[in-house]
Structure formats: C-alpha cells, structure tokens
Chain A
Amino acid sequence: MTYLSHLLIYLNIYVIVALGLNMIVGYCGRLTLSQAGYFAIGSYAYALASVAWHWGFLPSVALGAGLAAVLSMAISLPSWRLKGDFFVMVSLAVQIVILSAIYNWYRPEAPLGTLRNLTNGPAGISGVPKPDMFGIKFDTVGSLAILATVTAGVCLLLGALLLKSPWGRVLQALRDDELAAKGLGKNVRLFKLQAFAIACALLAVGGALYASYVSFIDPSVASLDQSVLMLCMVVIGGIGNFRGPLVGAFMLLAFPEVLRFLNIPIALAAEVRLMAYGLLLVVMMHFRPQGLCGSYRIE
C-alpha cells in the first residue's frame, strides 16, 4: 500500500509538471530546457520558507509559485522574438544560471535563510517539514498521497478551465501562426507572458510538493537530466491537448517500475533507464512525432 501511495505521489507531481510544461511546449510552441530550474525554484522556496522561516505549507508553496512566475520572464521575454533552436539555447542558459545560483548562493558560515546563504549550496537543505494545514499534519505516505492528489486535481481543474477557454485558444492560434494571430489584433507578447508565468508557477508547485515529500533537496533537482526527463514526459505523451501530458506522466512513472522487475543490477539501472528514455524518444520522433495522444507535432 505504501508503495502504491509512493507511486501516486510521484504520479501527481509528474502530472502537475507535465501540465505546466505542456503550456509552454504544446500551446506556445516553444521547446524549452529550463523546466527543472523552475521546479527547483519551487522546491527551494518551499524548503527555505518552511525550514528557515517556519512558514506554513500554503504560504511556502505560494512563495515558490509566485517567484517562479516572476522569474519566468527570463524565458518569456526572449520568446517574444526567438523560437526554435535559438529559444532552446536561451532556455538552456536560464537552466544553467538557476543551477549555478543554487550551487553557489551560500556561505558555510552564514545561517540558512539569510541573504548570504539561501540554498546551502551542494549540501542541500534537509529536514524539510511535512505539510501541515488547517491543523492537519500530512506526515504519512498515505496522507501525503491524498494531499498530492487533491493538489494535482485542483491544478488539472484550473488548467482545463484555462486551456479550454478563449485564452487557451489564442495560445494555440499563436503557436500555429503567430503572424496571423497578430493580424487579428491579439497581443501575443502579453499572452506569452501570461502562459509562461502560469506554466512556471505550476512547475514550482510540483517542486514544492516534491520537497515536502522527500524532506531533502539538493542542486540535482535543477539538473539538465531532470529537464530532459520532464520534456520526455510531454513529448512521449503528446502535446497540444489536455490528455497527452497525463499519459506521458503515467508512462514515465510506469517505465522505471517495469524495469525494476527485470532484475537489472542497481548500479546499471539508472543508465539503462536513461538509455531506454533516449531510445523511446528516437522511436517516437520517427514513428509518432505528435506523441501517443498529442494533437501537435513539434517542428
């Protein structure tokens, strides 16, 4: 039961991440590699606020989401002019900047939570408390699974409302043909700002949930591997509609679990998993570029 609850928590985190990433990749048509950076911003904001400043669960999550939304301008402003390879390069640069900031924004002698030590550097932040809301402490795997499910449900509901609204339709229009969307009077700059901010906030919510579950975070959450993994999720599941990323999140959760039953030595498991992801990506790009359930092909 604990094992299933654990899987459910990860599934919910992946669903939130895929939902946010789909807004950028599937609806704005911009391939990005900075998602792990925004996920880490949510994780670190939550950890810092709850460990160093003793904030509650909701304010800590809100801090991470708000911070990620503001910092999304690092990629949304370049998206006004750039797309394709150039935008990927910018997003990669943002990813590296965030990772470097997490590694280096600390002094061993300074206490955590001060301006001189915001991240604890390579040592990471441990002892991140379990969520505590309205007098209820979510300190078991089962209760956390319920919280993660409710959080993912709320995110999905908000995401569905937004993406199926005229706002989501304008995003699809500017993805299909930005010039034509401009010709209809749509302020595509504003729409991109909004979409990237909401997407990055969702990534940060996923990051906060992750930090609250594992109780320890270090700079590896912001690594490029994580970004690629998240991207695989939406590319394999399919982008440009609502169900594709959900399928992708499930696939990427189920895939390592299947490998677990193949008795591959632990030392090799991670490499085999990465290799399998790579192979899966190549196969998908060749035979089904729109993903398993997607409605849009990445050019």
Chain B
Amino acid sequence: MTSLTLSRPFALPLETTSSPVILRTQSISKAFGGQRVLDDVSVQLRRGEVVLLRGDNGSGKTTLLNVLSGNLEPDSGTIELSADGTEERFTFPRRWWKTLNPFDHFTPDRVAREGVGRTWQEIRLFSTMSLHDNIAVASSGQLGENPLLVLVKNSAVRKQENNNLAIAQDMLTQLGLGDRGAASGDRISLGQSKRVAISRAVRAGGQILFLDEPLAGLDGTGINQVLGMLEVLVRDQNITLIIVEHVFNIPLLLTWATTVWTLKRGRLEVQAPDDVQEEANSDIGTGLRSWITELGGPDGQINDQPIAGGAMLSTVIPSGRPRGKVVLEVRDLVVYRGNRLIIGHDHDGEIEGLSFSLREGEVSVLQAPNGWGKSTLLDAIAGLTPIRSGEIVLRGRSIKSMSPWARAGYGLTLLQSRNHEFPNLTVKEALHLTGHVALPDNLHRLLGRKMSDLSGGEKQKLAIYAALRTDQSRVRLFDEPLSMLDRVSIHELQRVFKPSAGEAFLIAVPGSPEILGVD
C-alpha cells in the first residue's frame, strides 16, 4: 500500500482565513433522563474546514452529530445555518406555534435541504435499489418528485431524470464503479459502499458533511480511497467535513484536519490538530500491531501465519509456559456464499481449503482486508453459515454437523460484529439473560439504563463482557470487537483478552499486514 499524503485545505490558524462561517451553535444543551450529554456547546464552522470530532465512549459525539444534522432537537440553544447561502436560525426550545405547522419542524430533511449531509456508521444505502438510483434519488429539485408534474409534464421529467442518471453514472465511474451501476446497494464491498454513501450525500446538495466513522472497518487500500475522495471534495468543491473516527484512524486524519473538537463529559473544546498529535499517537502506540504485541506481555511471542488473500493470523504466545493443547482445529475449510468462493482459496484464487488451529491459553488475531470473509469464517465455525467442505474439530470432536446451539453448548461463543441487543431491557435485565457477567466497576453505572439509551461504544463494551461471561465456553470468537471503542476501552480490553488455561480466543479485525507493520 502506498501511503496517501494529504495537505491541509487551510493555513492555520483558522481565524486568519477569509472563509465564511456557515454553521454556528450557541449554548446547545441536551440531556437524557436527567443526564446532561451536551453542556453549553458553542462552535462555529467555516466553509472548507475539516473538523475531527473525538471523545471517549459516551462523551456525546453521536448526540452532537444528531443535533447538528437535525435528527435530535436540543433542549436549549441556537443553531444558525447558512450552508446554502440563505441564513436559517433555529432557537430551542421552539415556540409552541412553530410546532403547529407540520412542515416547519427541525427535522433531518429540513436541515439536509439547508445543505447539511450525513453518512452513518452502518452506511444505510437503499438496499433494494441499484447504485445508479441510490445516487440519482439524492438529486435535489427533481421535477419528477411531484406526482402531478409526472403526469402533465412527463417529457420534461424524463429529460431531467436522464440527466440525473448520467450524473450518477459519472460519479460511479469516478469511484471506479462505472460497470456496477445496476448492482444493488448490498452487493458491493464495504469501502465501495462508504464512497457511494458520501457521493450520495454530496449529490443531495450537502455543503457540510457529517461523517460517522468513514474509515471504520476498511483496510489500507480502502482508507486511501476514502481519504483521497474526501480530499478532492474539500479541495475542488470546498465542502466542509466533520469526521468522527475510531481511535486507530485518528492519526491519519490529524495531518489533514484543520480543527479538532474534543468532547469531554458533554463539554466541547476546540483545539488545533498539532496540539493533540502527540496525545493521539501515544494513545494507540503504532496502531493495532502494538496492541497485539502488548497482549503477549513483555516476553511474549507472536507467531504470524500468512493466509491467502492478504490476511494474517497472529497468535500471541504468552511467555513462561509450554504451549497448550489444540482446542479448535479448522482443516481444509471451504465456504461459498451463493456461487462465490469466500473461504478456502490460494493466492491464484484456486480452491485450497483454509487450515489453522487455536491452542489453549492463546489469543489469535485474524487481520484481513474488507471482503476477505472474516465474518463468514467466524459464522461458519459457529454454524451460522454452511460450509462446502472441510472439517471443524472442537475439543477433539467434529462439530460440522452440529447445530449452532449445540456448538454453543459444546463450548463455542461468538460475538458478532453487528450486536443484537434488547433495546427495551435495562442493562441489568439484559445481562441476567446472558448469564454471569463480571462487569468492571466503571460499567456498573450503566446497570439501570435502557440498552437503547447507551452509546455505540458502551453497547460494544457490554457485548464484549457478555461474550466473556463465566460459562463452559472453551473457544470464544470475536468479530471486530474494537470498533466503536475509545482509547481507554481498547487499553482496558488488553486486560480482559486473557484466556484462562483451557480457553482460546480468536479475534477478527479489519486490516492488512502491510498497514500493521508486519513484513
């Protein structure tokens, strides 16, 4: 992977630029159930600015994003928007007579029409629509969105629609997806989906884009492609970006961002990127590789096993004790999704079953690029995806004909990347369903809250502790457990990813050996 060099769109400090302010908030506050999540937040945003929004789990990042993109009304404060050239001012709490007009609410569609776009962690492409339509639907000012005009001015509607589809095709071509226009939104890779989602927000007229973890889950190539695209948007179209990103990716953005917004317990501090560079680097060491190294302790060893397709299985071998017995063995595994071979191919794409083993007391980290099939592999081991051929042996017994629940009963636990929570239960109730979970002290404060009220990072931490519950499990599989977690939580997890004597862990993470510093 060749590294991408990004140059800042502005000379710093920002006050010296003549770029106009297009978003200003004054004293924005928001509380949930008496807990103040945003506290007197006042910021301003200039056209072409690149802002990195960071903060620990539960610090209010998503709440701020939701407020500024119209998905949530603040309890008090003012938001002024002038991204589309006309100034709009929203004061909260809104006057009662303003609530009477159903078309004059502070809503995401209203804010989007003012030039504020957004992408989500879970991407949200329209899954039943083609990529063409996914982008074309975003076009603003479409005559064909008025049913009366569709009937009485059909030729004008069709002409404009053909033009919109041609623009969509151009945008897809620029993304390298020119020949995939007819594919549906759920048939492209994660990196491609993220770039289509950004293009869609731009096509909708977004002058300010809020991007929620645009690099999460991407390998080095995917990260370069997304960053390259964002740089072009800022440089050529003067688009303003507010980016929330995972702690591992923050150093990549700091060289480019013009401003850093740091949220701490609901209070927002505006900082210069250079001021937080050192702190960010020290947070994560040199990235995932150092995190893996630290898992093994000072004298631990790492055994790297390259796997076809650009993946690497790194096994952390603790020092000072003999290697444990093999507890899970995967032999010549081949898995298809539909007609597509996902798991079990060599470097030339020919069928060659995947084989590896996990030993007691060891943690293995599978790093693989997007689309490699990490989730498919873990699902296949857990019995959630059928295998074409090969053998899976757990504790000396073949489990390939066992049902998923029988495998769980025999000692297999899987934490899926998409957590399935119980939104209406409190944390305490949800944990009771899980079994005996040893929560650290700093999570006890969450016990009385509803699952749906938790931040993404808080849910992820609870899911990990639930997957580490005290039971008869011998092999625990974790699919992207580090996503959505802040630096404190990621360090904290180094302490809990310590399998007991009879256990083995397999952790799947996105990435490729080249960006992790492995030769």
Instruction: Please list the residues of chain A having a beta carbon within 8 angstroms of any beta carbon in chain B.
Output: 80, 158, 161-162, 165-167, 169-170, 172-173, 176-177, 179-191, 194, 198, 240, 295-296
Q: Are A179 and B124 in contact (CB under 8 A)?
A: yes
B136 CB-CB contact with A under 8 Å:
yes
Q: Are B126 and A179 in contact (CB under 8 A)?
A: no
Q: Are B103 and A165 in contact (CB under 8 A)?
A: no
**For B127, what are the chain A residues with a Cβ–Cβ distance below 8 Å?**
176-177
Q: Are A165 and B161 in contact (CB under 8 A)?
A: yes
Q: Are A184 and B146 in contact (CB under 8 A)?
A: no
How distant is A249 from chain B, measured CB to nearest CB, in Å?
22
Q: Are B71 and A169 in contact (CB under 8 A)?
A: no
CA distance A296 to B71 in the complex (A): 27
Q: Are B128 and A184 in contact (CB under 8 A)?
A: no
Given contacts A182-B108, A184-B138, contact A177 B150 (CB under 8 A): no
How distant is A184 from chain B, measured CB to nearest CB, in Å?
4
Given contacts A182-B107, A182-B108, A198-B147, contact A166 B204 (CB under 8 A): no
5 closest residue pairs by CB, A with B: A166-B144, A185-B112, A180-B124, A182-B108, A176-B126
B154 CB-CB contact with A under 8 Å:
yes
Q: Are A166 and B142 in contact (CB under 8 A)?
A: yes
How distant is B71 from chain A, measured CB to nearest CB, in Å?
7
User: Dominant SS at the A interface?
Assistant: helix
Q: Are A162 and B201 in contact (CB under 8 A)?
A: no
B405 CB-CB contact with A under 8 Å:
no
User: How does the 8 Å CB contact mask read for B86-125 relative to A, with 1 for contact and 0 for none?
Assistant: 0000000000000000110001110011000110100011
User: How does the 8 Å CB contact mask read for B189-228 relative to A, with 1 for contact and 0 for none?
Assistant: 0000000000011001100000000000000000000000
Chain B minimum-CB-distance residue to A176? B126
Given contacts A165-B144, A198-B147, contact A176 B201 (CB under 8 A): no
Q: Are B109 and A188 in contact (CB under 8 A)?
A: yes
**For A169, what are the chain B residues with a Cβ–Cβ distance below 8 Å?**
129, 133, 136-137
Q: Are B147 and A173 in contact (CB under 8 A)?
A: no
> Assuming A166-B161, A179-B71, A183-B69, what are 13 further A-B pairs, CB within 8 angstroms?
A158-B151, A162-B150, A166-B136, A166-B137, A166-B142, A170-B145, A177-B126, A180-B125, A181-B137, A184-B109, A184-B137, A198-B147, A296-B128
Q: Are B128 and A172 in contact (CB under 8 A)?
A: yes
Q: Are B142 and A182 in contact (CB under 8 A)?
A: no
6 A-B residue pairs with Cβ-Cβ distance under 8 Å, sorted by A, are A158-B151, A182-B112, A183-B118, A183-B201, A184-B138, A240-B128
**For A181, what are the chain B residues with a Cβ–Cβ distance below 8 Å?**
109, 126, 137
**For B164, what are the chain A residues with a Cβ–Cβ distance below 8 Å?**
166
B255 CB-CB contact with A under 8 Å:
no
Given contacts A167-B145, A186-B109, contact A180 B103 (CB under 8 A): no
Q: Are B150 and A167 in contact (CB under 8 A)?
A: yes
Contacting residues of chain B (133-171) with chain A, CB-CB under 8 angstroms: 133, 136-140, 142-147, 150-151, 154, 157, 161, 164
Question: Contact check: which of A80, A158, A179, A185 meets B204 at CB < 8 Å?
Answer: A185
**For A161, what are the chain B residues with a Cβ–Cβ distance below 8 Å?**
150-151, 154
Chain A minimum-CB-distance residue to B71? A179
Q: Are A165 and B133 in contact (CB under 8 A)?
A: no
CA distance A291 to B200 in the complex (A): 31
**For B71, what are the chain A residues with a Cβ–Cβ distance below 8 Å?**
179
Q: Are A165 and B157 in contact (CB under 8 A)?
A: yes
CA distance A189 to B147 in the complex (A): 14
**For A187, what are the chain B residues with a Cβ–Cβ distance below 8 Å?**
103, 109
**For B144, what are the chain A residues with a Cβ–Cβ distance below 8 Å?**
165-167
Chain B minimum-CB-distance residue to A187? B109
Q: Are B137 and A179 in contact (CB under 8 A)?
A: no
Chain B minimum-CB-distance residue to A195? B147
Q: Are A184 and B112 in contact (CB under 8 A)?
A: yes
How distant is B224 from chain A, measured CB to nearest CB, in Å?
26
**For B108, what are the chain A residues with a Cβ–Cβ distance below 8 Å?**
179, 182-183
Q: Are B120 and A180 in contact (CB under 8 A)?
A: yes
**For B161, what are the chain A residues with a Cβ–Cβ distance below 8 Å?**
165-166
**For B140, what are the chain A residues with a Cβ–Cβ distance below 8 Å?**
185
Chain A minimum-CB-distance residue to B69? A183
CA distance A169 to B136 in the complex (A): 9
CA distance A170 to B143 in the complex (A): 12
Name the residue among B108, B112, B129 with the largest chain A CB count within 10 angstroms: B108
How distant is B389 from chain A, measured CB to nearest CB, in Å?
28
Q: Are A190 and B157 in contact (CB under 8 A)?
A: no
Name the residue among A162, A177, A189 with the largest chain B CB count within 10 angstroms: A177
CA distance A185 to B112 in the complex (A): 5
**For B142, what are the chain A residues with a Cβ–Cβ distance below 8 Å?**
166
CA distance A173 to B138 in the complex (A): 10
Question: Contact check: which of A165, A173, A184, A186 meets B201 at CB < 8 Å?
Answer: A184
Q: Are A177 and B124 in contact (CB under 8 A)?
A: yes
Question: Contact check: which of B102, B124, B128 meets A295 at CB < 8 Å?
Answer: B128
CA distance A173 to B330 in the complex (A): 42
CA distance A184 to B110 in the complex (A): 9
Chain B minimum-CB-distance residue to A193? B102
Chain A minimum-CB-distance residue to B185? A176
How distant is A198 from chain B, measured CB to nearest CB, in Å?
7
Q: Are B103 and A189 in contact (CB under 8 A)?
A: yes
How distant is A261 from chain B, measured CB to nearest CB, in Å?
39
Q: Are A167 and B147 in contact (CB under 8 A)?
A: yes
Q: Are A189 and B137 in contact (CB under 8 A)?
A: no
**For B136, what are the chain A residues with a Cβ–Cβ distance below 8 Å?**
166, 169
Chain B minimum-CB-distance residue to A174? B126
**For A166, what are the chain B residues with a Cβ–Cβ distance below 8 Å?**
136-137, 139, 142-145, 150, 157, 161, 164
Chain B minimum-CB-distance residue to A80? B102
CA distance A80 to B103 in the complex (A): 12
Chain B minimum-CB-distance residue to A169? B137
CA distance A187 to B139 in the complex (A): 13
Q: Are B147 and A194 in contact (CB under 8 A)?
A: yes
CA distance A166 to B168 in the complex (A): 14
CA distance A183 to B205 in the complex (A): 11
**For B109, what are the chain A residues with a Cβ–Cβ distance below 8 Å?**
181-188
How distant is B410 from chain A, measured CB to nearest CB, in Å?
30
CA distance A197 to B192 in the complex (A): 38
Contacting residues of chain B (50-107) with chain A, CB-CB under 8 angstroms: 69, 71, 102-103, 107
Name the residue among B107, B117, B145 with the largest chain A CB count within 10 angstroms: B145
CA distance A118 to B75 in the complex (A): 50
How distant is B99 from chain A, measured CB to nearest CB, in Å?
14
**For A186, what are the chain B residues with a Cβ–Cβ distance below 8 Å?**
109, 145
Q: Are B124 and A170 in contact (CB under 8 A)?
A: no
**For A194, what are the chain B residues with a Cβ–Cβ distance below 8 Å?**
147
How distant is B188 from chain A, measured CB to nearest CB, in Å?
15
Chain B minimum-CB-distance residue to A189? B102
How distant is A146 from chain B, measured CB to nearest CB, in Å?
24
CA distance A161 to B148 in the complex (A): 11
**For B200, what are the chain A residues with a Cβ–Cβ distance below 8 Å?**
184
CA distance A146 to B154 in the complex (A): 27
